[in-house]
Amino acid sequence: MTDTKLAYQLADTVLLKKPHACQVNNWEVLRLGADIRLKCMGCGHILMMPRADFNKRLKKILTKANDPVNKKLEHYLPKENIAIPK
């Protein structure tokens, strides 16, 4: 299965189908696995959802990890600063 929706990686910013309560639709991917951890780029709220739900809600990938555009966003966390379990 080579679906472009599955091409997201850690620290990418993605666009979901419905906006968050703060009316921002951009999310940063903080964790990948059976569950996906996301951070709202508007208010900084963090949530986790199952990968299947995330794949249904994903509209498109806005920017890839460590894109210079992301550094302008207040709540963006660079890939080097995301804690990765060993």
The pLDDT tens digits for 49-81 are 999 999 999 999 988 877 777 777 777 777 777
What pLDDT does residue 61 have? 92
What pLDDT does residue 60 have? 93
10 neighbors 28 (Cβ within 8 angstroms): no
1 neighbors 42 (Cβ within 8 angstroms): no
Per-residue pLDDT at 29 exceeds 70: yes
Output phi, psi for 37, to 5 deg. -100, 130
- Region 29-56 average pLDDT: 93
Per-residue pLDDT at 2 exceeds 50: no
Contacts of 6 (CB under 8 A, 6+ apart): 55
> In this structure, what token pair is assigned to residue 9?
């990686």
